[in-house]
Amino acid sequence: MRACRIGVPLWVVAAIVATGCSSSPGVRRSVAHNTSTTSNAPGAAGLRLLAERRGLLLGTAVNDDALQREVDYRDTLATQFSMVEPENVMKWDAIHPAPDRFDFTAGDRLVAFAREHDMAVRGHTLVWKNANPEWLERGRFTRAQAITLLRDHIYEVVGHYRGEIAQWDVVNEALDDAGHYADNPWLRAIGPDYVPMAFRFAHDADPHAELYYNDYDIGYPGRKAAAILALVTALKHGGTPIDGIGMQFHLIPPAVDLRRIAEQMRTFADLGLSYAITEFDVPLKLPATGSEQQMQADLAGGVLRTCLAAPNCRTFNLWGFTDRHSWVPQHLAGYGAATPMDMHLRPKPAWQALRSELTA
């Protein structure tokens, strides 16, 4: 299989595989010096403490069902990570299911867990073309109505969590693979101006939260990467309150070009933007062999090492930490084993690679 592009989202990965390829704000909570570990080495420090020593927020997307029901999942989450991110429960369809109703139940549960365990929270996501309720997708809104709806949603959600969420994915995947604006209710009703509007609304609702544009296919040269760079450059130079770029890394082995990823990090640093790795996993063809697991480990270690070497990369988020709860098997036929822990929360070579880079 050829080396695939980085950051491929779940609705694109399957098509690619079919062709053979594919410093936080004041709200950040201090990370507890927890010496619990999932390592096989007796007395070794957990990843959370090792990451803290390197000035890195090490996080993961969180499955809400597991958070409620699985003690071992909760324990590992609390001891090994310093940041949590909702997998789905803060998306529009979950948090704003009806025009006149918000449901913060699941989001509040995650934030309460983070507060209890002295963890930072990354909010995901305020504006996206997917995971929208039917009333929003099918609604016919004037430009003024759409602006009011967007503003009120962001004010309500960000305001509800004001002071609790360190980083927000404000706009997610605004551009398609060709670098054009992707169709969504906001583009249809408002036009491209919805992007800077969303950032201004989020900043108004919580001036202390870091605000990110999140997308995929940034790490390699091409139309998409060039369009994203042009977009965030225009936002930054236009005075939009944007603090960073979020990069999705759903990697399929065998390789990525770490040098080019480092170059991209420097490019955004030159703009004064943080670079957050927001969705990291490495899907493997099942059944995964030992050599494939080693390739997964090499990718995990290499990307983390590249991040640690970049002054503007201080966030590294897994998209799930155990194969027990991973989006990959349900959305990518024949693939799985994408996370650094197996179904029983036993560390895999990728976990040890992360540990090695944090202790290097």
Q: What are phi and psi of 248, to 5 degrees?
A: -85, 130
Q: Collapsing DSSP states into helix, strand and coil, what is residue 303?
A: helix
User: For residue 45, what pLDDT band results from cuts at 50, 70 and 90?
Assistant: confident
**116 included as an active-site residue:** no
Contacts with 197 (C-beta within 8 Å, 6 or more apart), sequence order: 147, 150, 151, 190
Establish if 21 belongs to a structural domain.
yes
Share of the chain above pLDDT 90, in %: 83
Give the ranges where the chain is alpha helix by DSSP (H): 10-18, 47-53, 64-69, 71-80, 92-95, 105-116, 134-137, 143-160, 185-189, 194-205, 223-237, 258-270, 290-309, 328-331, 349-359
Query: What would the pLDDT profile of 96-136 be if each residue is shown by its tens digit?
Result: 999 999 999 999 999 999 999 999 999 999 999 999 999 99
For residue 165, give its domain range.
10-359
Domain count, the chain: 1
Stretch 182-191: mean pLDDT, rounded?
Answer: 97
Among candidate residues 210, 279, 292, 357, the one labeled active-site is 279
Tell me what pLDDT residue 252 has.
Answer: 87
What is the four-CA torsion angle of 146, 147, 152, 158, rounded to 10 degrees? 120
- For range 256-263, the mean pLDDT: 91
Measure the CA angle with vertex 154, ends 153 and 159; round to 5°: 110
Angle, to 10 degrees, between the axis of helix 223-237 and the axis of helix 194-205?
Answer: 50
C-beta of residue 314 within 8 angstroms of C-beta of residue 23: yes
Inside any domain, residue 253: yes
Does residue 27 sit within a domain?
yes
**Secondary structure (DSSP) of 12-32:** HHHHHHHTT-----TTPPPPP
Q: Is the pLDDT of residue 23 over 70?
A: no
pLDDT at 15: 31
Instruction: Classify residue 4: in a domain, yes or no.
Output: no
Residue 332's domain is classified under what CATH number?
3.20.20.80
89 domain residue, yes or no: yes
Res 181 pLDDT > 70? yes
Does residue 312 sit within a domain?
Answer: yes
Q: Give the model confidence (pLDDT) of 314-344 as tens digits.
A: 999 999 999 999 999 999 999 999 999 999 9
Residue 233: is its pLDDT beyond 90?
yes
Residues 104 and 160 sit within 8 Å (Cβ to Cβ) = yes
Q: Does residue 242 belong to any structural domain of this protein?
A: yes
Choice among 173, 210, 292, 357 that is catalytic = 173
pLDDT at 84 over 50: yes
Indicate the residue type of 202.
Answer: A
In a domain, 1, yes or no: no
* % pLDDT > 70, the chain: 87
pLDDT band at 92 (very low <50, low <70, confident <90, very high): very high
At residue 44, the pLDDT reads 54
Question: Does residue 87 have an active-site annotation?
Answer: no
